[in-house]
Chain A
Amino acid sequence: MKRVIFVDDEPQVLQGLRVSLYSRRKDWEMHFVENGAKALELMRASRFDVLVTDLRMPGVDGATLVARTRTDSPDTIRIVLSGYANEQQSQRLVSLAHRYLSKPCEPKQLEECVDRCLATQSLIQSAEVRAQLGSVTGLPPMPATFAALQRALADPAIDSSKVAVIIQKDPAISAKVLQVCNSAFFRLPRRVASIQQAVSYLGLSTVRSMVLSAELFDPGNTMCAALDLPQLQRHALSVAALAQSLAADTAWAGDAFLAGLLHDVGLLLLGREHKDAMQRALEAAAAGMPLADAERKFTGIDHGTAGAYLLGLWGLPFEVVEAIAHHAEPARIAQSSFDVLSAVGIAHALLAEIRPAEVPAYEASTPPLGDEYLRAIRYPHSWQSLVERASVLLGVEEAA
């Protein structure tokens, strides 16, 4: 039974939540408290799996509560449920909370959110994962340039020239970012010659994602023979561009791009950390065993979970972590809306369908998606129309 604590200074809201979630009383042990101080006290006394809190409360407010929980009980899922829509505040919370829900939030939406967070969390926090990925110190730290960018972006007055200065400190990364910017995917009207131009044309969040990808796909990595770094990188960019175009005009298009670029980061990690086991896993997968099963059999962990675990440690948005954990089989997660996970999942499946020749042998058993999945996430277009759209985008890249 999962333990969930709800915090809101309005008793009526707590009562409403209590009755509307009554059908979940067998899965969740629910506690309802009226202020932050009491919540902290309860959470000190025993561990909770999920915290759902309002923001504006007298005394210990929601932001403080979430921050304290993050330090004191990092594995607890932190969800903000607030009727208060202040952009700056939610910006700050993005890094602190796993999810941000706006009041009013229908019971189904809240349940789905909690279930999904728990599913991903239990996956990447499982005993097996800890055992496999071992001591946290052995894992690669967040790459330096990306980390510097993350710190710089906390400053709201940051502009493209300051960003360019940070990126240009590493000429190899700058060159790689420019190379990606000038690939046909982005259909830029002219050659981008500087990082500053790249930021003006593609936006900060896209360039930041490219920096992270350039740092991760470092050719200095020595991996098992079945993994081809340039191919992985090409594939990652295709998925990212597709996911971003599917998510165009949404607030999270940037996250979709980032998740697309990083969806196979687990392969890099396992291919390096468990070179021999991974080689055997990939060979078994090429021989027909589902990839995730083979990975779990030989290395004890699949690459989606491994990647999600690593990015979770780095503090990337939870939507991105979740998308990476389930990108190969998004349908495994019950969801009723189109989001980062479904965008990356769809992009991944579209690519496999349109370019079967480019799918590495070890990924051949990835289950396809179709109209049924699109209906489940209430996506308003047909699979066929997506295939056509994606073919156009990929065709452009091919022609160039």
Chain B
Amino acid sequence: MTGSAATILIVDDEIQNRKLLEALLRPEGYLTLGAANGEDALASVAKCPPDLILLDIMMPSMNGYQLAGTLKANAATSNIPIIMVTARVDRSARLAGLNAGVEEFLTTPVDRAELWLRVRNLLRLKALGDDLRKHSSMLEQLVQARTASLAAINEQLRDEMRRRQTVEIELRLAQKLEAVGRLAAGISHEVNTPIQYISDSAHFLRSAFAHLLGTTASVDPTEPALRDADSHFLRKEIPRSVERIIEGTQRVAAIVRAMKDFSHPGTGEKIVSDLNRALEATLLIAQSEYKYVATVDLQCGDIPEIMCNVGELSQVFLNLIVNAAHALADAGRDSATGRIRIRTQLVDGWVELNFDDNGCGIAEEIIAKIYDPFFTTKEVGRGSGQGLAIARVIVVDKHAGYIGVVSTPNVGTCFTLRLPVGGPAAAIP
């Protein structure tokens, strides 16, 4: 035994036997404890676990087998080696002892040398077992700690993946929009040139035909050649055809202009402005759009003035308010049941604006497309499909801000804008 002296519990109902064993062990440097019966032994073990137990078999109430079984069944004490000290040398007694879990047998009268050797061996074994357990529990703790840190890293990686996915989606959208913008600029030039001469020619036809009609007004329409040509029909339909061409070119021109606006939405300069005031002004302008479908609740927070192009941002506000009004109309709301709540507040160095309505909401399958240029769910004449695309360009590209939407069909939609307090320059990392 190394280190501090080992403690040995001697359990025997005969005090002479205990004394004898003590006398044999003490000179070897062991500390000894004594117990006269099973109950005392259990109490002693619970109070001060010994390194070894010498156990008599024949004891009143709880015999040696029962005590050994109890100790070996308990995880806290099962590691304490037990040497059964007995006069019986028969096979059944040994088997019963081994069954109860004891490690060794010693027959009385005890041979001093044999006692020492067995005690020393068992103590050594126990020490090794204890070391093993200590190490394996340390290992277990290490493994647990490592597993926990791996799990944390894993979670971080998952977060990073999610973040990258979002950035990638935004990047793809930005690239797509940029490509559309370049395409729009190129197409508009190519399309505008033919529109110019189609429209010029149509205008000429209009005035020339009117002129011609004037000069031929006196010709008799029943003249055979004119009758064959169905001149009445021609007189009516030629001007109408020309009007159709003019109207059509005007429409194409308007679409191309919208595309151009999308690729270059204005070039005004940025000045320090109060967005609360801009919102108030926009609401005044948009009043006719929403007054029959909603009441507006404007909650102006204490926000600083920011460097921005307030004209462009007002256009974004107007688009969002008009969209909300249309969504409210589609949901059958009126001024009593419809609500547009607009809130401004300062959040972590950003001015945040929420446009919240209880309109028809945006269907899940189209929400990814709402910023696509020319994407629209509105019938012809109600929207060009440019509003949110331009809003995105103005907020994200020109003001280094953020635009996001949360929507539940039949419950409502909330758009959130965030703009950097220090102006676009402050947001560029």
Contact = CB atoms under 8 A, between A and B. Distances in A.
A1 interface: no
B189 A83 contact: yes
Given A22-B204, A83-B192, A84-B189, A16 B197 contact: yes
A104 B199 contact: yes
B192 A103 contact: yes
Interface string B309-322: 00100100000000
B196 A105 contact: yes
Nearest to A188: B272
Contacts of A202: 271
B185 interface: yes
A13 B207 contact: no
A193 interface: no
A13 B197 contact: yes
A23 B193 CA distance: 22
B207 A23 contact: yes
B297 interface: no
A249 B307 contact: no
B341 interface: no
B200 A85 contact: no
Contact of B271 (A19, A104, A201): A201
B188 A19 contact: no
A251 to B, nearest CB: 7
A20 interface: yes
Contact of A104 (B192, B204, B266, B268): B192
Contact of A10 (B193, B201, B203, B208): B193
Nearest to A248: B311
Contacts of B208: 19, 22
B192 A102 contact: yes
B197 A201 contact: no
A256 to B, nearest CB: 13
B267 A87 contact: yes
A86 B263 CA distance: 10
A85 B207 CA distance: 30
Interface in B135-158: none
Nearest to B271: A203
Nearest to B311: A249
B266 A251 contact: yes
A391 interface: no
How extensive is the interface on chain B, given as a class? 20 to 34
B274 interface: yes
Contacts of B188: 83, 85
Interface string B269-280: 101101000000
Contacts of A102: 192
Contact of B203 (A85, A106, A205): A106
Contacts of A16: 196-201, 204
Contacts of A251: 266-268
B264 interface: yes
A200 B307 contact: yes
A10 B200 CA distance: 14
A104 B253 contact: yes
Contacts of A248: 311
A103 B196 contact: yes
B254 to A, nearest CB: 10
Given A17-B200, A249-B311, A103 B193 contact: yes
A19 B249 contact: no
Interface string B188-231: 11111111111111011001100000000000000000000000
A190 B268 CA distance: 23
B266 A85 contact: no
Nearest to A12: B197
Nearest to B252: A104
Given A16-B204, A104-B196, A248-B311, 12 more contacts: A16-B198, A83-B192, A83-B193, A84-B189, A85-B188, A85-B189, A85-B260, A87-B267, A106-B199, A200-B271, A201-B271, A202-B271
29 contacts: A13-B196, A16-B198, A16-B201, A16-B204, A17-B200, A19-B200, A19-B204, A22-B207, A22-B208, A56-B189, A84-B189, A85-B189, A85-B260, A85-B264, A87-B264, A87-B267, A103-B193, A103-B195, A104-B192, A104-B253, A105-B196, A106-B199, A107-B203, A189-B274, A189-B305, A200-B271, A205-B269, A248-B311, A251-B266
In order of increasing CB-CB distance, the 7 nearest A-B pairs are A16-B200, A16-B197, A83-B192, A20-B200, A19-B204, A103-B192, A104-B195
